[in-house]
Amino acid sequence: MSVARRRGRQRRIFVVLLGMSLGLAGVLLRLAWLQLSPAETVGAGAAHLLSESVAQRERELVLDSGRGDFFDREGLALTGETYEALAVFPLQAKSRLAGGAADMDKLAAALHVPPERLRVWMQSLKEPAFWHREGARIPLKLSKGQLAAIRGLRMNGVRVLPYRSRYPDAFKPMHVLGYVSQHPELLRRDYGERLKERTMKLSDQTGGAGLERSLDRLLQGTGPTTVSYFTDGADKPMHGLEWRLTRSENPYYPVRVKTTLDRAIQDKLERYVDAQGLREGAVVVLDARSADIVAMISRPQLPDGSAAADPERYVNHAVRAATPGSVFKLVTEAAALEAHVTNEGETFRCNGDYGRYGLHCWARGGHGDLTLQDALAGSCNVVFATLAERMDARTLAVTAEKLGIGEQVGWASGSAFAPLKKPLRLLPEEEGGLVFESFPAVRDGGQMAQTGIGQRDVRISPLQAANLVVTLLNGGIVQEPRLVSDIRYANGQLLAKLPRQTLPSRYGRISRDTADTILAGMEAVVDRGTGQSIRDGIWSVAGKSGTAQVSLNGREKLNQWFVGYGPIRSPRYAVAVLSENRALHTSNQAAKLFRGVMDILAEPDDSQGKNE
């Protein structure tokens, strides 16, 4: 080999070795950079790439949110129903039919829809979904015949799966339980840490009102039950990997919340008030001995999951304070008796005109001579304005507080509720109401007269009004109406017991004699007074009517009330009915509803008296 050829060969070998050395140096530099660069950057990128890869292959559908359920006092479910529904996952049209085109027609026939409509719906899916009837808020509950027809089909990405509905179609949404919805702002406020940890998403649902709101942290549970369907990047099924079920194995969740509600009574009263045309207002039924909430109805009806333009539909009128009118005369009489500015034997004179402040009695020409009991029975404005003017504002306000008026009365833990590690109020929307917006700097006779007949600043809720009756029946002892009796883990183990509680006033309580005098007057209301129209019924009842003048959008309206109890000899229930914003010169709808409610409660097949 010549010297020239040998030198050329050596140069080529040198170039190759140099290139290899430079390549190896580049690899070493790259490895060094990866070692020295921040680990979080690499990890985040890797996680992102992994999630993108999985997202191309996995479609997830929630079968059960894992949320805890509510039960009535007898253990009957108020929420939660599991049934078979049709689930469909997005796929290419040509990948859908494993058994032939006829299967699509058979599926459409089983669902009672045109095949083309079903085909278009399937092709429009971007995410997995359950089949709904048009306009329905929850997936279609498949019948036995539909199940038999569908299970014989061979269609990829189509399967019958168990679906758990939070609010079954058979139950109307109830303000007392509240609702769940997607509410990112509430999630950010309540679950900031879980959002950071990615154990919750802003798209998750949370309690928006009622018990769903107050007990949300316990109801959330440990996660949903989901089913995943695997496809490739072209939305074709990955055979052998298609389905995967994921669920929590925690034996303690979801929790079971036992309420004091009676589902049978609640359902009957819901149907009754709708049949009677209650458009705006509330009905509250309390156990006469314990003040436990047996039923609570609010109208307008709570939306069933669809968006409602009218915010009033979300308001629980049973716990919203409203002008009470003559119902407040029960408080005025109690204050006058406690202050010894009147007694049962006093006689009054009503000629229909109070003589000042432009105040008149509703009875044209007046009631004439009448006793204190006659005045309550006939709801005489002149007598109760007179009694109010004999007192000062503080005297009336103190008695109201003794009776649980002017403050929230629903069950609250006071101190931290152990499972939540913070105080618990079962009905967070409850308004405390008021007697005076502010105490007058100098005595104001007109203010006292109008307050004494339940006008001016006075506001109470139907819950407070019903509880006022329970307080009178129990000799002046104010109790906190309870809505939940206990909370248990999924395995039945007790998580928390919510005991009955009293709500003592710093001023003590009214005397039993005062309470008995007022109860006798309430009997007279129905026997010979403003409640005579509801005297006939299954039970003998006692109560007090009320009509308050209010303004709605600049127009004068009426709040119509009736509160009372029954049966008289052995009271079982205290009831408050409010019909709001009624037209002038209309009969008292609340009184009529009260009689109907009492007759329903008196029916022999209800579950009265069985609460613990």
pLDDT: is 521 or 301 the higher one? 521
114 CB contacts (<8 Å, ≥6 apart)?
108
pLDDT at 606: 44
Residue 506 CB neighbours (<10 A): 7
Does residue 53 surpass a pLDDT of 60? no
End-to-end CA distance of the chain: 111
Q: What would the pLDDT profile of 201-230 be if each residue is shown by its tens digit?
A: 888 888 889 999 999 999 998 888 998 887
Give the whole-angstrom CA distance, residue 433 versus residue 483.
20
Segment 586-598 mean pLDDT:
96
Give the whole-angstrom CA distance, residue 468 versus residue 333.
13
Instruction: Give the helix, strand, coil percentages of the chain, each rounded to 5.
Output: 35, 25, 40
Q: For residues 541 and 565, is the Cβ–Cβ distance under 8 A? A: yes
Segment 23-42 mean pLDDT:
54
pLDDT at 436: 95
469 CB contacts (<8 Å, ≥6 apart)?
286, 288, 543, 563, 564, 565, 574, 575, 576
Q: Is 124 helix (H, G, I), strand (E, B) or coil?
A: helix
Which of 86-90, 154-158, 503-507 is the least confident region?
154-158
Residue 233 CB neighbours (<10 A): 9
pLDDT at 57: 58
Distances (CA, A) of 358 to 308, 352, 385: 42, 11, 12
560: alpha, beta or left? (left if phi > 0; alpha if psi -120 to 50): beta
Does residue 55 surpass a pLDDT of 70? no
Q: For residues 88 and 122, is the Cβ–Cβ distance under 8 A? A: yes
pLDDT: is 591 or 48 the higher one? 591
| High-pLDDT (> 90) share of the chain, % | 66
Q: Is 440 helix (H, G, I), strand (E, B) or coil?
A: coil
pLDDT at 527: 97
Strands 243-246 and 256-259: unpaired
Q: Which two tokens stand for residue 76?
A: 């009957």
Task: Quote the mean pLDDT of the chain.
Answer: 88
Distances (CA, A) of 277 to 304, 462, 549, 586: 19, 18, 21, 14
Segment 334-339 mean pLDDT:
98
DSSP 8-class letter at 303: P
pLDDT at 235: 62
Does residue 149 surpass a pLDDT of 50? yes
pLDDT at 186: 86
Give the whole-angstrom CA distance, residue 330 versus residue 476.
13
135: alpha, beta or left? (left if phi > 0; alpha if psi -120 to 50): left
pLDDT at 39: 40
pLDDT at 314: 87
pLDDT at 60: 83
Does residue 21 surpass a pLDDT of 80? no
Give the whole-angstrom CA distance, residue 278 versus residue 381.
27
Q: What would the pLDDT profile of 539-556 be if each residue is shown by its tens digit?
A: 999 999 999 999 898 899
Name the strand (E) or helix (H) holding 348. strand 347-350
Does residue 247 surpass a pLDDT of 90? no
pLDDT band at 92 (very low <50, low <70, confident <90, very high): confident
Q: Which two tokens stand for residue 269?
A: 């009263």
Q: For residues 140 and 86, is the Cβ–Cβ distance under 8 A? A: yes
356: alpha, beta or left? (left if phi > 0; alpha if psi -120 to 50): beta
pLDDT band at 358 (very low <50, low <70, confident <90, very high): confident
Give the whole-angstrom CA distance, residue 399 versus residue 450.
17
pLDDT at 185: 87
pLDDT at 38: 44
pLDDT at 37: 47
Which of 218-222, 399-403, 537-541, 595-599 is the least confident region?
218-222
pLDDT: is 157 or 529 the higher one? 529
Give the whole-angstrom CA distance, residue 469 versus residue 481.
12
pLDDT at 201: 83
Q: In a 10 Å sphere around its CB, with 0-12 CB exposed, 13-18 middle and 19+ buried, how is residue 150 labelled?
A: buried
Name the strand (E) or helix (H) holding 487. strand 484-488
Of 519, 529, 530, the closest CA to residue 568 belongs to 519
pLDDT: is 6 or 155 the higher one? 155
Which of 82-86, 89-93, 227-231, 237-241 is the least confident region?
237-241
Give the whole-angstrom CA distance, residue 28 versus residue 49.
24
Give the whole-angstrom CA distance, residue 534 versus residue 63.
50
pLDDT at 430: 97
pLDDT at 41: 33
Give the whole-angstrom CA distance, residue 479 versus residue 500.
8
Q: What would the pLDDT profile of 285-321 be if each residue is shown by its tens digit?
A: 999 999 999 999 999 998 875 445 577 788 999 999 9
Q: Is 272 helix (H, G, I), strand (E, B) or coil?
A: helix
pLDDT at 193: 86
pTM of the model: 0.85
Segment 373-394 mean pLDDT:
96
Which of 292-296, 509-513, 608-612 is the least confident region?
608-612
Does residue 89 surpass a pLDDT of 60? yes
CA dihedral sign of residues 38, 39, 44, 45: positive
Segment 109-130 mean pLDDT:
93
